[in-house]
Each structure stands twice: as structure tokens, then as C-alpha cells.
Structure 1
Amino acid sequence: MRRESIIPKPVTEYDLRLLRIFVSVVEHGGFAAAENALGITRSTISVHMTNLESRMQLTLCRRGRSGFSLTEEGQMVYHGVIKLFESLEDFSLLVGNLGKDLSGELVIMSSDQLDEKKQLKLATVIEQLNEKAPNLHIVLDGDTLSNIEKQILKDKVHVGILPQYQSVEGLEYLPLSSEPNYLCCGEKHPFFELLDSEIDAKLFATASTIHPGIDLKMDGMNQLRKLNLNAKSYQFDMRKTMILSGKYLGYMPQSYIQQELNRGQIRIIQPSVMTYQFDLSLVRKHSPREPNKVELVMDAFRQVFELYYVV
């Protein structure tokens, strides 16, 4: 007959320590892989896991020659512990936000490399944030579009700088900029020396073209349907590299290729026809966990980029 677990009684700091080790083992896929992350030996991890299972009177995982795996009860405990730790983090954030001075991390992520003008404006935003909240630890980094959207919804990122190709439920959008995307080719491409009038639908249908890697709005989708899409590149700097190879056509905002245009390394093809708008937005969660930090960032962007707020 199974004895009653002692864990449902008041949870001790020791219990929390064992649970953190358990989470690390699960997320690293086993005892050996968790050694470096935890800074303790495999044998010590095994002792802690045995103690946790004894305290819970549950078998949480299987380990042996066949590898590491969670039992059904282990999976339930893992998901429960994640919720527990998130609740503890929420409480810490709540207490932290009650103070006058904002502190902790403020995370801003961008899915695109910004052109020089936008980089300078973003630098001014960072300057203002540092002056208004010097105790904040500002994190400015990049990631994929889908990852940033997910992290904003999970309150892991406060705001994201993203192309507004779709509206995700639970997110709000503040337009930052809008500029045309033009179809381009490099100086080594056969189209480079042709007149726009000489490039017809048949030539477009045979020319290798780069897909931007995301679903576009209707005007962009209509442009791509005309072309032979057999390559993919989301980041503008990588896409520009492929265009410069002379093997591919690709869409680029003019601000990202102005130097290459001036040097005669890239040309724009049929600019009045082969174009669609590239819209960049500042994205936040509708009801963020740390509204004071989010509002601080939004205000700085509104001032520097001279924006008006829309949902």
C-alpha cells in the first residue's frame, strides 16, 4: 500500500531544490546531460532524484541502458512544477514592481536587421530607457519571428520589432515604418544589363528567386506568384548576399541596399510594378505581466520614432 507523499504538506526550500534539479534533468534529457548545467556530478543528481521520489512516493523517471524517460506520473509532476515556478516568478515580479524604481530585465527583441537610420533611432530609445530607469538590465537581441511572438505571449519578451505580416491574437501592434520592397538582382545576373521592357513574364518564370521565408500580405503574395521561387532567405543581410551572387532575384527595401545601388552592384527591376510594402511594427502583449516596463518602452519608441498608438 502506497504511503502518503510528504510533499503536499508545507513545501520546504529543500523540496524546491530537489524539484529544480528534477526540472533540469528533464529539460536536458537525462542525468549526464544535466551535470554541467547543475554543476554537480551524475551520482549526486541520482541521489537527489532518489530522495525526491522517496519524498513523493512516486516513480518519476526511468533510467538505464534504454535511456532516460519520464513515467506518466513524472510528466504530470513536471508540468505541475513548471506552473509552480512560474507562479513564484510572478510573485517576485509583483513585489518588484511595487517599488518606485524599475529593476530586473527589460527584453527587446528584433526579428530583422535594422537599417542604419532605424539603428540610430533605436540607440536613442536605449539611451532614454537607461536615463529613466538606470536599474534596468536591458537585453537587446534578435530571434526568429515566430519565436519572438511566442516569447511575448509568454511574457519572456517585453516588446518585439517585427514585420506585420499577420495579426496574432493577444498581441498589439504599433507601426514603426512602412517602405516598399523592390525586386532586385546583382550585377552578375543576366537581368542586370537588360532594360525593364525586355524582362517579361516568361523570363521571370525561369529566373531563380528567393522566397522571404514568411507568409506575406496579399500584395506581396501576388508578387511572389509571378516568380520561380526555389530559394529561401528571411534575414535581409543574408538575402542580399544571395542577390549579390548573381544567381537569384530577391525583394529588398531600398534602405538596406542603398550603398550597393550607389556602387552599381545591385539594380532594381521594374520598380513601379514589382514591389510591395514592408511594414515594421513594435509588438507587445495585450495584457503583459510587467505593464510598467512595457509602457516605459512604448513611450520611448513613440517619442523617438514620432508614432501614434494603434491596436
Structure 2
Amino acid sequence: MKKTSIIPKPVTEYDLRLLRIFSSVVEYGGFAAAELALGITRSTISVHMSNLETRMKLTLCRRGRGGFSLTEDGQAVYRAVIELFDSLNDFSLLVGTLGKELSGELVILCADQLDSFKQQKLAQVIQQLHDDSPNLHIVLDGDAIATIEKQLLKDKAHIGLFPSYQQIEGLSYTALSNEPIYLCCAKEHPFFSQVDSAISEQALAEVAAIHPGIDIDSEGKAQLMKLNLSAKSYQFDTRKAMILSGRYLGYMPQSYIQEELNQGQIRIIKPSSHTYQFNLSLVTKRSPREVNKVNLLCDIFKKVFQVN
């Protein structure tokens, strides 16, 4: 005879608590690792897990010398738990959009380290956001472009700031700023003391250079094809460090290296011919779940960055 779960319908607050503990144990890979995150002892976690298995009449996990692992039933329950908590979050977000005053999280993700000018502009955006909607909890963080795209499409982020070299279906792009990127070398590099006319295209193609690590537009690709791309670095701050080593050429926006240019630590090579455009875009989901928050952000960004 098939065992019947004793978890009542509807699910109680106690069941939700047990499921949250179960979810944490899975995400942290075991009882010991989840101890600190949950703020309860391993023995208490074990009791809660046993209670959950008893209530569900299922064996959810195996623990012992072989380590922690989920049973087939445990994997199915974990997937259902993720969907359950996502639904609860969706409900909270929906309710948050119904009031006159916006509240809850507002997530802004950046793929690049911003130069001082853009940091000042972003500070103005945050200032106005805080003044206009003080109940919003602003989350400002950085991540890889591919991750930001996924977060936007899943409604886990409201705005992304990154270059629009490739455009993904389902996302909307608004150009915020545009500036040229130049080929650079540092003081320790052999080209530093040579005038541009003495640096041949063949010589440029023979020395080590840095690839940005992503597919860029055709103009940028044409420039990169001229070089010996033997290293990779997407972030401008890490790329600058590689250039400063004196062992690599690399493309950088002038705004990110102005201090080094002034100090004579970096120089630009052949600026009239070895350059392409860096476009920073404001990226949103075309049909976001929290449209009021996204519209508020877009309006402020466009105003601050003076975008029509």
C-alpha cells in the first residue's frame, strides 16, 4: 500500500520552515555547511530534516561517510521547493507593485567598472531614486554580461549596464554613453619610447596583446584581428593591470587611463587608426514583471545621462 504524506493541505507555516531548511541544506551541500547560514546546530538541522521526511513519508537525502546526496525523491522535492518559493516571491513582488509607493528590492547590475564620470552620474541616479522612492531597497552589484542577461530575462534584475555589442531577443537597449577605445602600452613596453611612424603593422602583429573576452562589434573585431591575441581580460581594471605589466598591448577607453596618461605610465598608440567605439547601454527586459520600477529607473537614468 502506498504511503500517504501527512503534510496537510494547505501547507502550514511549519512545513514552509522545514522546506526552507531542506533547501538550504541542499544549496550548501550538507548539514555541516548549512549550520552557519541557518544559525542552528547540525543536530537541530538533522531533527528538522527527519521531521520533514516523516511528514512527507519520503527519504529525501542520504548522509554518512559517503557524504551528503539527494535521493531521486529528494531531487524532485527540491525542484518543487524552488518553484514554490519563486511563486511566493512573485506574489510579494506583485503586491509591492500595487501600492501607490514603490517598495521592495530594485536591482541594478553592471558588467564594467565605471570611470569617475559615470560613477558620478550613477550617484545622481541613486540620489534621485532614494529621494523619490525611499521605501525601495537598492541593490547595486556587478556581474558578467551573460549572467546579467539571464537575470533580466528571469526578472531577477531590473536594469543592466553593459555594452550592447550583441543584442538578445527579449531585451531592450538604450545607449547611455559612447566613447572611443584606443590601443595602449605601458612604460615598460618596447613600443613606449617609439614614435607611431616607427611602429609598423607587422611589429604590432608580433607582440602579445589582450583580447576583451567577448564578441564585440565588427569595428572592434577588425582592430583585434591586427594583433597577436595571447591573453584575455574583459574588465577594464584587470586589463589595465595587464597593460601596466609592460608585456601586453591592449585597448582601453581614455577615461579609464587618464591618470596613467598624465603620469607617463601609459601611452596611446596610433590613435587615428587603431581605435573603435565603446557603447555603454541601459538594458531592460522588454516586458518586465515590475514595469513601474523599471520605468522609474529608465526615466531617471535617461534624465541624468541626458538621453532623449
TM-score surpassing 0.5? yes
Structure 1: runs of 5 or more not aligned: none
Instruction: Find the aligned partners of 1:241 and 1:38 in 2 and give their Cα distance.
Output: 39
| Partner-residue secondary structure (3-state), 1:168 | coil
CA contact (8 A) 1:2 1:57 kept: no
| Partner-residue secondary structure (3-state), 2:65 | coil
Instruction: Find the aligned partners of 1:169 and 1:80 in 2 and give their Cα distance.
Output: 28
Instruction: Find the aligned partners of 1:244 and 1:187 in 2 and give their Cα distance.
Output: 8
CA contact (8 A) 1:110 1:160 kept: yes
Instruction: Find the aligned partners of 2:20 and 2:162 in 1 and give their Cα distance.
Output: 34
Question: What TM-score, normalized by structure 1, do the two folds share?
Answer: 0.95
CA contact (8 A) 1:212 1:233 kept: yes
Q: 1:64 matched to which residue of 2? A: 64
Percent of counterpart pairs with the same letter?
70
Shift of 1:138: 1.4
| Most deviating of 124-133 and 236-245 | 236-245
Question: What TM-score, normalized by structure 2, do the two folds share?
Answer: 0.96
Instruction: Find the aligned partners of 2:29 and 2:164 in 1 and give their Cα distance.
Output: 36
Amino acid at match of 2:11: V
CA deviations over 1:188-237 (Å, ceiling 9, x no partner)? 21111222222223212221111112121122122212211122222112
CA deviations over 1:103-153 (Å, ceiling 9, x no partner)? 122111211111121111111111111111011121222222222222222
Amino acid at match of 2:76: M
Instruction: Find the aligned partners of 2:88 and 2:259 in 1 and give their Cα distance.
Output: 51
Shift of 1:34: 0.6
After TM superposition, the structure 1 = structure 2 runs for residues 247-286 of structure 1, keeping only pairs within 5 Å, are 247-286=247-286
| Partner-residue secondary structure (3-state), 1:193 | coil
Amino acid at match of 1:181: I
| Most deviating of 123-132 and 2-11 | 2-11
Q: 2:183 matched to which residue of 1? A: 183
Amino acid at match of 1:212: P
Q: 2:41 matched to which residue of 1? A: 41
Shift of 1:8: 6.3
**Count of residue pairs the alignment pairs up:** 308
Structure 2: runs of 5 or more not aligned: none
| Partner-residue secondary structure (3-state), 2:101 | coil
After TM superposition, the structure 1 = structure 2 runs for residues 1-311 of structure 1, keeping only pairs within 5 Å, are 1-7=1-7, 9-308=9-308
Instruction: Find the aligned partners of 1:55 and 1:292 in 2 and give their Cα distance.
Output: 42
Instruction: Find the aligned partners of 1:256 and 1:40 in 2 and give their Cα distance.
Output: 46
Amino acid at match of 1:198: A
| Partner-residue secondary structure (3-state), 1:35 | helix
Instruction: Find the aligned partners of 2:173 and 2:8 in 1 and give their Cα distance.
Output: 43
Amino acid at match of 2:246: G
| Partner-residue secondary structure (3-state), 2:272 | coil
Instruction: Find the aligned partners of 2:109 and 2:56 in 1 and give their Cα distance.
Output: 40
